[in-house]
Amino acid sequence: MAALTVAALLAALEAISRDRPDRVLRVTGELPCPQPSEPGPEGQAEPVEASVKASLEPFELLIFRGFSSSLSHPTGFDPDQPALPATAEMGAAELLAGPLNPSQEQRLAGPVAVEHFLDPAAWL
């Protein structure tokens, strides 16, 4: 079976979460973030394409009632667009009792691979 794209994975998890308003899925991972390189030998920066090096920055995303919400990065206004870019590297997911109360968080499962929660039975 081919690996799902980030957008397809999020869409599938959001669809499952619509039927489970008593659950919140927290997904963590890393986003490549461009970092400018050092200036060239003459003090001038390289062209943009050559001066960008990728570093990784952690992200945290919550999926609840059919929607994804980033806790660590801004997202676009359009809810039809994925909350993560295609270059995101999914790490792990935890299933939490919902609605989420940060002061009394209750973890029900995880951390495990995000794909584990593609099975609706894993949300029970």
Average pLDDT (18-36) is 89
Residue scoring higher pLDDT (50 or 55): 55
pLDDT over 70 at 36, yes or no: no
pLDDT over 80 at 42, yes or no: no
Which string of b and e fits 26-63 if b means at least 16 CB within 10 Å? bbbbebeeeeeeeeeeeeeeeeeeeeeeeeeeebebbb
Per-residue pLDDT tens for 58-102? Answer: 999 999 999 998 888 877 767 777 888 889 999 999 999 998 888
| Predicted local confidence at residue 97, as pLDDT | 96
Closest Cα to residue 24, out of 53, 85, 65, 81? 65
Local confidence band at 20 (pLDDT 50, 70, 90 cut-offs)? very high
Q: Which residues pair with 6 in a beta bridge?
A: none
Structural domain spans, the chain: 6-123
| Predicted local confidence at residue 52, as pLDDT | 46
| Predicted local confidence at residue 40, as pLDDT | 54
| Predicted local confidence at residue 85, as pLDDT | 86
